[in-house]
């Protein structure tokens, strides 16, 4: 018999269960509860599936994202690319049922479980996003030889122009400077600075920040995570004024080198829309496209969380791009927290 209730145990016990599950990911770790609260003011409800003896058999982190402007969503995990139910087949089924019940009873417009494996049975599958995986050898020099010649030439270009890459938690602030400028250029509200500082604080071993500099000016930056033999770059940006120097190529190469040094054997480029320019950028490195099959419970016609790619946002995007950076940095975070 399986019972589902909010998790009341320790974060260490939860993380041990996540670490023992073949489908466990860094998005399931207990520290996200603090990151969601400290960085965005969201409450994370970890659901626990317990067997008849009271042992933890499965987990599902669930976050409510609600606003009058964009709607009401339950997501596992918002702003990330995974986080669906873990555990035995019966635990996953019970957790999915409990999440659907919560969505129905609380009046949510959409429940989205962002699984990487075992799409929840009985839910509608959304396949609007994919990711791209590249195997990593144990030696960066071997990876260099395996990269397409065109990619190696594009990495050499910023190096020849004197650009350099640095990594470490101290790169969070320069990363955010690049990220905020890039999001304004895209016409998209930027996530709060407090969100990334919370990531530095609560994921001191897993989080990886890399920044590319032109002398003292940060021109490209990324934030990713290394956990259990894999590296995922979750946010990456480059300043458009430096596009000719291709700093984003040096950025990704720096991420891969650091990932190999820290024992990663796969590199996850993060989610994108199939056929987009971002998708083309990722495919040039080699590797393989992986569909992201996310399970959804829907109320009415809502089929996805709000996206800047939708027609509703086109006018707002053009207006946002014209605002001063100080204004977008002030007004963006309250909006971004509502766009999971």
Q: Say which CATH number the domain at 45 has.
A: 3.40.630.30
Residue 146 domain flag? yes
Q: In DSSP terms, which residues pair with 134 in a beta bridge?
A: 267
Here the tokens at position 167 are: 């990594």
Question: Are 107 and 178 within one domain?
Answer: no
Counting residues of the chain whose pLDDT is more than 70, the rounded percentage is 98
Q: What is the pLDDT of residue 300?
A: 78
pLDDT of 311 over the 70 cut:
no
> How many whole angstroms separate alpha carbon 294 and alpha carbon 126?
5
Q: Of 144, 181, 155, which is closest to residue 245 (Cα–Cα)?
A: 155
Question: In the structure, what pLDDT confidence band is assigned to residue 70 with cuts at 50, 70 and 90?
Answer: confident
Residue 223 domain flag? yes
The residue-averaged pLDDT of 107-111 equals 95
Residue 322 domain flag? no
Question: Are 231 and 301 within one domain?
Answer: no
Question: In the structure, what pLDDT confidence band is assigned to residue 213 with cuts at 50, 70 and 90?
Answer: very high
Respond yes or no on whether the N-terminal peptide bond of residue 77 is cis (omega within 30° of 0). Answer: yes
Question: Are 187 and 241 within one domain?
Answer: yes
Question: Are 143 and 104 within one domain?
Answer: no
pLDDT of 309 over the 90 cut:
no
The residue-averaged pLDDT of 115-137 equals 91
pLDDT of 312 over the 90 cut:
no
Question: Are 9 and 43 within one domain?
Answer: yes
More confident residue, 178 or 67: 178
**Domain interval for residue 17:** 3-128+293-305
Question: Are 205 and 227 within one domain?
Answer: yes
Q: What is the pLDDT of residue 308?
A: 60
Q: What is the pLDDT of residue 302?
A: 75
Q: What is the pLDDT of residue 52?
A: 87
Residue 325 domain flag? no
Question: In the structure, what pLDDT confidence band is assigned to residue 339 with cuts at 50, 70 and 90?
Answer: confident
Task: Give me the helices (H) in 149-300, please.
Answer: 149-160, 172-186, 193-202, 247-261, 277-283
Question: Are 299 and 258 within one domain?
Answer: no
Question: Are 119 and 151 within one domain?
Answer: no
Question: Are 102 and 145 within one domain?
Answer: no
> How many whole angstroms separate alpha carbon 91 and alpha carbon 193?
36
User: Where a domain ends, among 214, 243, 264?
Assistant: 264
- The distance of Cα 116 from the centroid of its chain, to the nearest Å, equals 13
Residue 315 domain flag? no
Residue 271 domain flag? no
Chain mean pLDDT for the chain: 93
Residue 175 domain flag? yes
Question: Are 32 and 99 within one domain?
Answer: yes
Here the tokens at position 192 are: 């709060």
Question: Are 173 and 251 within one domain?
Answer: yes
Question: Are 225 and 155 within one domain?
Answer: yes
pLDDT of 12 over the 80 cut:
yes
Question: In the structure, what pLDDT confidence band is assigned to residue 323 with cuts at 50, 70 and 90?
Answer: confident
Counting residues of the chain whose pLDDT is more than 90, the rounded percentage is 84
Question: In the structure, what pLDDT confidence band is assigned to residue 120 with cuts at 50, 70 and 90?
Answer: confident
The residue-averaged pLDDT of 299-318 equals 72
The 10s digit of each residue's pLDDT in 222-261 is 999 999 999 999 999 999 999 999 999 999 999 999 999 9
The residue-averaged pLDDT of 185-200 equals 96
> How many whole angstroms separate alpha carbon 281 and alpha carbon 277?
6
The 10s digit of each residue's pLDDT in 252-286 is 999 999 999 999 999 999 999 999 999 999 999 99
Q: In DSSP terms, which residues pair with 194 in a beta bridge?
A: none
> How many whole angstroms separate alpha carbon 186 and alpha carbon 180?
10
Residue 281 domain flag? no
Q: Please give the tally of structural domains in the chain.
A: 2
The residue-averaged pLDDT of 165-173 equals 98
Q: What is the pLDDT of residue 37?
A: 95
Query: What DSSP designation does 52 have?
Result: T
């Amino acid at each position: 018999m399986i019972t589902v209730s909010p998790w009341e145990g320790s974060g260490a016990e939860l993380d041990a269960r996540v670490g023992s599950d073949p489908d466990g990911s860094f998005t399931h770790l207990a520290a996200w509860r603090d990151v969601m609260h400290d960085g965005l003011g969201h409450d994370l409800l970890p659901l626990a599936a317990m067997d008849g003896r009271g042992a933890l058999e499965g987990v599902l982190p669930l976050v409510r994202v609600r606003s009058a402007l964009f709607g009401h969503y339950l997501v596992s995990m918002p702003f990330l690319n995974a986080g669906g139910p873990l555990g035995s087949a019966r635990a996953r089924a019970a957790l999915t049922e409990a999440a659907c019940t919560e969505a129905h009873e609380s009046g949510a417009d959409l429940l989205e479980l962002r699984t990487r494996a075992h799409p929840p049975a009985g839910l509608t599958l959304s396949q609007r996003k994919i990711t791209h995986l590249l195997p990593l050898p144990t030696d960066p020099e071997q990876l260099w030889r395996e990269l397409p010649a065109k990619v190696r030439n594009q990495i050499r270009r910023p190096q020849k122009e004197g650009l350099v890459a640095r990594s470490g938690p101290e790169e969070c602030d320069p990363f955010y400077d690049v990220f905020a400028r890039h999001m304004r250029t895209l016409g998209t509200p930027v996530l709060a600075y407090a969100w990334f500082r919370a990531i530095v604080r609560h994921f001191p071993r897993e989080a990886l920040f890399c920044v590319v500099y032109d002398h003292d000016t940060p021109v490209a930056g990324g934030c990713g995570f290394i956990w259990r033999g894999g590296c995922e770059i979750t946010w990456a940006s480059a300043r458009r004024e430096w596009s000719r120097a291709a700093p984003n190529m040096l950025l990704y190469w720096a991420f891969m080198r650091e990932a190999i040094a820290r024992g990663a054997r796969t590199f996850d480029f993060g989610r994108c829309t199939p056929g987009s320019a971002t998708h083309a950028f990722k495919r040039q490195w080699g590797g393989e496209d992986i569909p992201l099959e996310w399970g959804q419970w829907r109320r009415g016609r809502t089929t996805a969380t709000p996206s800047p790619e939708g027609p509703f946002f086109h006018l707002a995007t053009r207006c946002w791009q014209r605002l001063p950076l100080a204004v977008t940095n002030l007004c963006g975070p309250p909006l971004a927290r509502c766009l999971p």
